[in-house]
Chain A
Amino acid sequence: MAKYEGKPGALIHVLMEIQSENHWLPKEILNAISDRLNVPLSRVMQVASFYKTFSLTPKGRHRIHVCSGTSCHLRGADELLNSVQELVGVKAGEVDADARFSLETGCCLGSCTLGPEMIVDGEHHGRLSSDRVEEVLKNYA
């Protein structure tokens, strides 16, 4: 944070850097950002709660992302999402009880030619049929 000390305009940069390393933004960190950058906590909260990339709650050890873009949708993303939800036992936006997986939907990652696709920890599993989901998820302990 030192390089952004006292620079309110750098708020998004700082949040991004912390989010990408820590995967979520705890309250103490938001307080610290407010102090060091000289931005009111209310504005830190406003930005952190608005942009979808920022998370105010912890994520699972593995992050599942099912693309809900138009192309994936046309190629069966709904069905894929249903099977993933069933297997993991949580709905999109939630984390399972032992924090193994967090599940999200969103679009579009630009690999439309692979649709429908599931991305786990940044790794793409494209043209995925519902019956193959279990096989893929087995590899993530």
Chain B
Amino acid sequence: MQRINSAAELDARREDIRAGKDADRPAIAVCSGAGCAGLSNGRVIAAFEKELESQGLAGKVDLRATGCHGLCELGPNVVIYPEEIYYVHVKPEDVAEIVKETVQGKKVVDRLVYSDPASGEKAVHLSEIPFYKYQSRNLIGNNTRINPSSIDDYIGIGGYAALAKALFGMKPEQVLDEVKKANLRGRGGGGFPAGLKWETTRNAPEKEKYVIVNGHEGEPGAFMDRAVFTGNPHLVLEGLIIGAYAIGAHQGFIYTRHDSKLLKQNIDRALKQARENGLLGENILGSGFDFDVEVHFDVGIFVSGESSALMRSIEGKNPEPRPKYIRTSVSGIWDKPSNLNNVETWANVPQIIEKGAEWYTGIGTESSKGTKMISLSGNIVNSGVVEVPFGTTLRQIIFDIGGGIPGGKKLKALHFGGAMGGSIPESLIDTPLDFDALKKVGAPMGAGALMVMDEDTDMVEMARFFLTFLTNESCGKCVPCREGIQQLLKILTDICKGEGKKGDIETMEEIADVMSAASLCSLGKTATDPLRGTLKYFREEYETNIH
């Protein structure tokens, strides 16, 4: 592979790639997201390889194992291009027929297309399926179009153009201004304006600065970051390099999950390809800007996703958070200014630079701009990865996209923000997806894991479940968190057994107040949010168990 040494050479490479691609050439995109991988998609891919060979089509049809398509519930999913015919629940036995009928004969295999569970209505093309129809898939939409192992596929769809624009057409301050104007808010949970964080790091006195991708994604029920990182790793990397340029960092870190082989493999390969092509390392694209990235893995504990804990882990130590009276953007890894954003935040950067802040702020609500990826799961018909503009209501996500609650059950509660999030009752379902609106009703979005709970869910038991999780995942460094969760669990366990005592609720509220005020990091500070939320909206469920 030839190193690309200038913006003009990048354009030429893109032209070459596009010229070599025939838009009418058939392609088969088999989903290899976390959901489909668990549904034996590997056997489907192997069957396609064999079948293309035996029908004499090897080399004439592209077969790509892609990142997550989104509709995980109905996997393994297969898309046939150029028509964009969408097949669900594909088994190895279906493959011969798909190749013969659809790829060769241009006919649709009726039994494999999406059929609406309520109306029986069929949808042949991706864009017609209700799950996809109501989304705006700015970040994840390219997953079906590219092979994550091919940098050429990414360059071919316009990849790294934003990086070239930033390096050659903009000063670092201008890049920073654009991100600030776009009002890009951190997608990891806090919703803090990314531009301001970048600026703090840029202006910090230390000369050496770091940028970090937080791909830990330990929040139970969250799987959207790995969907974009596995399926389109260069998108995240491009965002990171642009950020490093704006901030003035020459070293970056990717902190990601160790237990997803495909994710690890795709990130490693993307970094290698980017280096070989002159997009990473010394003198990127001949611009004189140097930047490289090192990969670190979470080693299986939730607290290591917290920013200061994560930085200790990168240093090779235990992930113990520290108080944040000095921000990590001023003093982070080895006490150097370290700007940490999550996967989705970085993935938003290339489009902001390419299309401009004005375009970006045209999407979303007054205070939350752009789109948000949601991982939708729990008691829901269509679980999967969803991407919608901010402002979409929870009702639209649950019913129009998610297809409602299975088994004819009623919706009881919606839970956002994982184990430190909050549950809201069905009556608040018209709340729009918006950082501030959701925080106000008590279901802060967190990283975007939306858990749907049906009428059978015991909310007290859920609060106990979340605290059980957190007691295993806390680092135990500070007393309020370590001891507080334990005491809460004891009381909650009694209440769940129907042995609650008078005064238990008040004791729990008091412990929760102390934990929120005195814990070091957000794990301890917000560990009691599910408890508070359920006490606020479902208090009678506690009271019926107190005697």
Q: When the two chains form their complex, are residues B38 and A126 in contact, meaning their CB atoms are under 8 A apart?
A: yes
Select which of A9, A50, A108, A124 is within 8 A of B301 by beta carbon: A50
Closest-CB distance, A63 to chain B (whole angstroms)? 12
Q: When the two chains form their complex, are residues B299 and A112 in contact, meaning their CB atoms are under 8 A apart?
A: no
With A11-B316, A16-B299, A74-B451 already in contact, the answer to whether A124 and B37 are too (CB < 8 A) is: yes
Q: Residue of B at shortest CB range from A47?
A: B318
Q: When the two chains form their complex, are residues A111 and B299 in contact, meaning their CB atoms are under 8 A apart?
A: no
A106 to B72: give the CA distance in the assembly, Å: 21
Q: When the two chains form their complex, are residues A47 and B38 in contact, meaning their CB atoms are under 8 A apart?
A: no
Total interface residues on B, CB under 8 Å, equals 48
A73 to B453: give the CA distance in the assembly, Å: 11
Q: Residue of B at shortest CB range from A119?
A: B38
Select which of A8, A16, A112, A126 is within 8 A of B221 by beta carbon: A112
Closest-CB distance, A19 to chain B (whole angstroms)? 9
Residues from chain B with a CB closer than 8 A to the CB of A54 are 299
Encode contact with B along A1-40: 1 for CB under 8 Å, 0 otherwise.
0000000111111011000000000000000000000000
With A8-B316, A54-B299, A115-B377 already in contact, the answer to whether A71 and B451 are too (CB < 8 A) is: yes
A-B contact count (CB 8 A): 117
Select which of B296, B304, B313, B377 is within 8 A of A71 by beta carbon: B377
Q: When the two chains form their complex, are residues B418 and A70 in contact, meaning their CB atoms are under 8 A apart?
A: yes
Q: Residue of A at shortest CB range from B73?
A: A113
Total interface residues on A, CB under 8 Å, equals 37
Looking at B220, B260, B300, B378, which has the most chain A CB atoms within 10 Å of its CB?
A: B220
Q: Is A107 in contact with chain B by the CB < 8 A criterion?
A: yes
Q: Residue of A at shortest CB range from B421?
A: A70
Tell me which residues from 190 to 220 in chain B have a Cβ below 8 Å from any Cβ of chain A. Answer: 217-220
Select which of B217, B300, B469 is within 8 A of A110 by beta carbon: B217
Q: When the two chains form their complex, are residues A74 and B384 in contact, meaning their CB atoms are under 8 A apart?
A: no
A74 to B449: give the CA distance in the assembly, Å: 14
Q: When the two chains form their complex, are residues A113 and B221 in contact, meaning their CB atoms are under 8 A apart?
A: no
Tell me which residues from 368 to 414 in chain B have a Cβ below 8 Å from any Cβ of chain A. Answer: 375, 377-379, 383-384
Q: Is B39 in contact with chain A by the CB < 8 A criterion?
A: yes
Select which of A8, A9, A109 is within 8 A of B259 by beta carbon: A109
Q: Residue of B at shortest CB range from A46?
A: B318
Tell me which residues from 341 to 384 in chain B have a Cβ below 8 Å from any Cβ of chain A. Answer: 375, 377-379, 383-384
Q: When the two chains form their complex, are residues A70 and B465 in contact, meaning their CB atoms are under 8 A apart?
A: yes
Residues from chain B with a CB closer than 8 A to the CB of A122 are 261
Q: Is B542 in contact with chain A by the CB < 8 A criterion?
A: no
Q: Is B443 in contact with chain A by the CB < 8 A criterion?
A: no
Residues from chain B with a CB closer than 8 A to the CB of A11 are 316
A110 to B419: give the CA distance in the assembly, Å: 15
Q: Residue of A at shortest CB range from B456?
A: A74
Q: When the two chains form their complex, are residues B222 and A110 in contact, meaning their CB atoms are under 8 A apart?
A: yes
Q: When the two chains form their complex, are residues B300 and A107 in contact, meaning their CB atoms are under 8 A apart?
A: no
Residues from chain B with a CB closer than 8 A to the CB of A126 are 38-39
Tell me which residues from 106 to 133 in chain A have a Cβ below 8 Å from any Cβ of chain B. Answer: 106-115, 117, 122, 124, 126
Q: Is A138 in contact with chain B by the CB < 8 A criterion?
A: no
Q: Is B315 in contact with chain A by the CB < 8 A criterion?
A: yes
Residues from chain B with a CB closer than 8 A to the CB of A50 are 301, 318, 475
Select which of B222, B296, B384 is within 8 A of A108 by beta carbon: B222
With A73-B465, A111-B37, A112-B377 already in contact, the answer to whether A12 and B223 are too (CB < 8 A) is: no
Q: Residue of B at shortest CB range from A126?
A: B38
Q: When the two chains form their complex, are residues A10 and B316 in contact, meaning their CB atoms are under 8 A apart?
A: yes
Closest-CB distance, A46 to chain B (whole angstroms)? 6
Q: Residue of A at shortest CB range from B74?
A: A113
A124 to B43: give the CA distance in the assembly, Å: 13
Residues from chain A with a CB closer than 8 A to the CB of B457 are 74
Q: Is B258 in contact with chain A by the CB < 8 A criterion?
A: yes
Closest-CB distance, B417 to chain A (whole angstroms)? 11
Residues from chain B with a CB closer than 8 A to the CB of A12 are 296-297, 299, 313, 316
Q: Is B226 in contact with chain A by the CB < 8 A criterion?
A: yes
Q: Residue of A at shortest CB range from B473?
A: A52
With A70-B415, A73-B465, A111-B37 already in contact, the answer to whether A52 and B300 are too (CB < 8 A) is: yes
Residues from chain A with a CB closer than 8 A to the CB of B296 are 12-13
A54 to B298: give the CA distance in the assembly, Å: 11
Q: When the two chains form their complex, are residues B469 and A107 in contact, meaning their CB atoms are under 8 A apart?
A: yes
With A10-B316, A12-B313 already in contact, the answer to whether A113 and B258 are too (CB < 8 A) is: no
Q: Is B496 in contact with chain A by the CB < 8 A criterion?
A: no
Q: Residue of B at shortest CB range from A73?
A: B465
Which 8 A-B residue pairs are closest in the complex by CB-CB distance?
A124-B38, A110-B223, A51-B299, A112-B377, A53-B300, A113-B72, A52-B300, A71-B377
Given contacts A111-B35, A114-B35, 6 further A-B contacts (CB under 8 A): A51-B304, A51-B318, A52-B299, A107-B469, A112-B223, A112-B383
Binding site for A on B (CB under 8 A): 34-35, 37-39, 72-73, 75, 217-223, 226, 258-261, 296-297, 299-301, 304, 313, 315-318, 375, 377-379, 383-384, 415, 418-419, 449, 451, 453, 457, 465-466, 469, 475
Give 28 pairs: A residue, B residue, CB < 8 Å, sorted on A.
A9-B315, A9-B316, A12-B299, A12-B316, A46-B318, A47-B316, A47-B318, A51-B301, A52-B299, A53-B258, A69-B220, A70-B465, A71-B220, A74-B453, A107-B469, A108-B218, A109-B34, A110-B34, A110-B226, A110-B260, A111-B34, A111-B37, A111-B38, A112-B221, A112-B375, A113-B35, A113-B75, A113-B384
